[in-house]
A and B are shown apart, each in its own frame.
With several copies, the nearest count.
Chain A
Amino acid sequence: MINKKMPLNEFMALREEVLKQWVTGKEVDLSEAIAYQKAIKESKRFSFKLNQAVNDKVTLIQPRAGVALPHEHKKLLKVLQDEGGADLLPTTIDSYTRHNRYLEAQTGIDESIRTGKSLLNGFPAVNHGVGVCRDIVEYLDVPLQVRHGTPDARLLAEITLAGGFTSFEGGGISYNIPYGKNNSLEKTITDWQYVDRLVGYYEEQGITINREPFGPLTGTLVPPCISHSVAILESLLAAQQGCKCITVGYGQCGNQIQDIAAIRTLELLTKDYLNRFGYGDVRITTVFHQWMGGFPQDEAKAYAVIAWGAATAVLSGATKVIVKSPHEAFGVPTAEANANGLKTTKQLTAMLKDQVAFENPLIKEEMSIIEEETRCIMEAVLNLGNYDFGLSALRGFEAGLIDVPFAPAQCNANKALPARDNSGAVRFLDFGNLPFNDKLKDFHRKKLKERADTERRDVSFQMVIDDIYAVSKGHLVGRPR
């Protein structure tokens, strides 16, 4: 990890190594790639579309999607664009590629060809290489983003950016903690500084690549202050490497007041911290993820969850919304199911876009809670790391000052536990080592006591379990039944 923009020569030396990780690495020629990116027209650039959305006050819609084989992948994305009306397209990467297991990914590709169906849960972009990526990007009319969950995404970034993608999701924290087990945080942050530096290099050449820290983390009862802290740290890290267009994200918790307050504070706080450290020129937009936890199996019920997410996204003023499908509880959706999720969402983003945003004392109150919590965490973390962003993240996680619920990563403390309060907002049942002041702790305790009293039971881990299942069983708060 370093605490400054990586010097060009070091970066270039490192690139040599990275490009050797898989055979397709040699397809990347950076100056040719810059020229290629320069030729991509505005309407197919992420940064342009996001700006437009901000100006037009609309919320863009984007699915997740990826299959093993290029022609199938093209067909899929085309359906999502034409039928689903996606404003932005993804390319979701398969799990072998995410773990840099390119050999296994190759088996997956071969088997998929043999059996005629995708046996990978995403598109193995590294194996396919630069040319195939370009072919896909050229085939479509809207901007494309790489969405994955890759702790070491250096080669993936090289190949896909040379391949014409104009946005890249992830970060050294958000693609480690929820997405791995034994990855050192120091290494993933370092590797993502490389990715950010690459994006920074493109920026220096006049090409803006959008960067998007992964907001929802484990998708499971993550209180806003946790994901906000991660988003801010990753934004600082990215800005430091020269990224100028960042989209910070948040996964819907389900209580509309909390969700609206979360998106608003996410934008305000990220801008505030970027300003404070001299990155006031970075453009910040927001992404709202429709409910990321367990879904109801019934499709009619899944549509309800999707629609509620769409409505909240718009009313919160998010720049874009990531869309789920009615197949969510079962498996990777068919193109049709995926398009259906988009259509449900588009109907609401369009129907609600003219509606005045809610102004509401409860939202204000919730905003000040989230802001105070996030500042408590951020100040403690930055202090501990001497205002070195990477070090702060590292030490912050070590000390449990940031703690992501239900994360598989061993570098996460896993002591803090969330549960819903009586109105469904996500609070802390156990603070672990979160650096909250007494006032905040009292607030959370009071909120959970209210619920416990209503349910005539004690605050306990059973509540957490009940909350994990609640949405899939048709509720928000997991009440005893």
Chain B
Amino acid sequence: MGNTTVVIGVIGADVHAVGNRIIDYALRQADFNVVNLGVMVSQKEFVDAAIETKASAIFVSSLYGQGELDCRGFGDYCKEAGLNNVLLYVGGNLVIGKSEFAPVEAKFKAMGFHRVYPPGSDIAIGIEDLKADLGLGK
């Protein structure tokens, strides 16, 4: 998988850096190329990086609760930029407050994300899903 690139980052005005660091580490351990934009990443920065590095997937994190505002229109924006084949995953504490996950998932899928992860998800699961979606063997 050394030639498969994943762009990762934490969207919006969000500065939660710990999960990002672990996702970076875990993807590299799983032999992916990682482009880590760090925290406080705008939609444009995600898209620009994905284009530039010919990424296969974008892992968006949002922890601080304002992800609903920050992620709006992300799918369309990616499409407009021609990123039709890039997988869009999002995870973290996506909305404000403790809430049922199903409606949250629906909301973010409607924004164009292919996979949506609930709070505190094990990143290993995201990586498994990625391999499956990309048709990469274990």
> Which residues in A have some Cβ–Cβ distance to B below 8 Å?
94-96, 98-99, 101, 104, 107-108, 111, 117-121, 149, 178-182, 218, 220, 294, 297, 327, 329-334, 337, 406-408, 461, 465, 468, 472
Contact B99 A331 (CB under 8 A): yes
Neighbour of A461 across the interface among B13, B25, B98, B99, CB < 8 A? B25
Contact A181 B69 (CB under 8 A): no
Interface check B43, CB cutoff 8 A:
no
Shortest Cβ gap from B121 to chain A (Å): 11
Residues on B with C-beta less than 8 A from A220 are 18
Interface check B44, CB cutoff 8 A:
no
Contact A119 B15 (CB under 8 A): no
Contact A99 B68 (CB under 8 A): no
Contact A472 B120 (CB under 8 A): yes
Neighbour of B14 across the interface among A95, A182, A297, A461, CB < 8 A? A95
Contact A121 to B119, CB < 8 A, known contacts A98-B13, A181-B38, A218-B17:
no
Residues on B with C-beta less than 8 A from A408 are 15-17, 38-40
Contact A121 B96 (CB under 8 A): yes
> Which residues in B have some Cβ–Cβ distance to A below 8 Å?
12-18, 21-22, 25, 38-40, 64-66, 68-69, 93, 95-99, 119-120
Shortest Cβ gap from A64 to chain B (Å): 12
Shortest Cβ gap from B116 to chain A (Å): 15
Residues on A with C-beta less than 8 A from B97 are 327, 330-334
Contact A96 B13 (CB under 8 A): yes
Shortest Cβ gap from B28 to chain A (Å): 11
Neighbour of B66 across the interface among A121, A178, A329, CB < 8 A? A121
Distance of A119 Cα from B71 Cα, bound (Å): 13
Contact A331 to B13, CB < 8 A, known contacts A119-B66, A297-B120:
no
Contact A468 to B120, CB < 8 A, known contacts A120-B66, A332-B65, A337-B98:
no
CB closest residue in chain B, given A181: B40
Shortest Cβ gap from B54 to chain A (Å): 25
Determine which residue in A96, A331, A333 has the highest number of CB atoms from chain B within 10 A of its CB, and name it: A331
